[in-house]
Amino acid sequence: MDDAEAALRLGKHLLLRGPTGSGKTRLAEALAERLGLEMESVNCSVDLDLEALLGYRTLGIAEGRTVVEYVEGPVIRAMRLGRMLYIDELNVARPEVLPVLHGALDHRRQLTNPLTAELVEAHPNFCVIAAINEGYAGTSPLNEALLNRFVVFDVSYVQGDVLAELIREATALSSRDHVERFVRLSADLVRASEVGELPVEAASIRALLDACDLSTQMPPLRAIRYAIAGKLSDPREQDLVMELASSYFGGA
């Protein structure tokens, strides 16, 4: 996380590359908090268009007359107000939509909004974090022109001290002992997923953070059942998750 923060402070844009559930979104949120920035988000899909990025026109009333108003999209708001722009699943978007971002991502730090013909210059604090899941259905390789505008961080499942810091920053859990137990449980879930004993959903960092939050209001084992085991369809996989969890929280 320290290297990613340093890159952002140097004015670089980040591309987080890793499996689904590895904690990319939560990592971006934690970095925004460290930098004291509000976040604008774009969730990419094959239906993503310029309006979803830049804004849209709508009808409004001004001085009793019907007028056409422009509503800013997340890219324009982030550039103008100096916010972090988080683009999730960038490689799901249709490649022909993304070149509009090139000027905002390189040394020019500006773009011409085709919807308004306005030249938008980025606030000094504007930065971008994009995330991709590689090898999944519906994804496309990023073209070189876009890829060259990022520095790339490979995000395996967040573990160890980085995960402990993420738990403390992104959840309500404050018990150092329980944070350490959840970190060790996560390592076990990741290993079980890697050898095929559990599906990748069981190792989701997002689910683990949900369990951490719930554990502040209920026993940890119950929290783990709701947030992690309950999402699995195979009872044997559910039992294995709870067996691993019991080794850390059986007496908690």
pLDDT given for residue 212 in this prediction: 98
Tell me which residue of 17, 20, 18 sits closest to 199, measured CA to CA. Answer: 20
Token reading at 170: 């992104």
Give just the sign of the alpha carbon dihedral 140, 102, 13, 149.
positive
Please write down the long-range contacts of 113-116, taking CB distance under 8 Å and 24 or more positions apart. Answer: 113/54, 113/55, 113/76, 114/50, 114/54, 115/50, 115/51, 115/54, 115/55, 115/56, 115/57, 115/70, 116/55, 116/70
What's the pLDDT at 162? 86
Cα 50 from Cα 219, distance rounded (Å):
46
DSSP per residue over 144-161, as a string? HHHHTTSEEEE--S--HH
Task: Tell me how far apart the alpha carbons of residues 130 and 115 are, in angstroms, rounded to a whole number.
Answer: 23
Q: Is the dihedral of CA 40, 41, 46, 52 positive or negative?
A: negative
pLDDT tens for the chain, residues 1 to 252: 789 999 999 999 999 998 887 889 988 998 999 999 999 999 999 999 999 999 998 887 777 888 878 899 999 999 999 999 999 999 999 888 999 999 999 999 999 998 889 999 999 999 999 999 865 666 778 889 999 999 999 988 888 998 999 899 889 999 999 999 999 999 999 999 999 999 988 999 989 999 999 999 999 999 999 999 999 999 999 999 999 999 999 866
Instruction: Say if CB 102 and CB 146 are below 8 A apart.
Output: yes
* pTM > 0.75: yes
CA–CA gap between residue 43 and residue 32 (Å, rounded): 17
Q: Output the CA torsion sign for 179, 185, 190, 193.
A: negative
Angle between helices 205-214 and 176-194 (to 10 degrees): 150
Amino acid (one-letter) located at 251? G
pLDDT of residue 135: 57
Task: Read off the tokens for 180.
Answer: 């350490």
Transcribe 160-180 into DSSP letters: HHHHHHHHHHHSS---HHHHH
218: which DSSP letter? Answer: S
Looking at residue 190, the DSSP 8-state letter turns out to be H
Q: Residues near 85 by Cβ (< 8 Å), separated by ≥ 6?
A: 39, 40, 41, 42, 74, 75, 78, 79, 126, 127, 128, 129
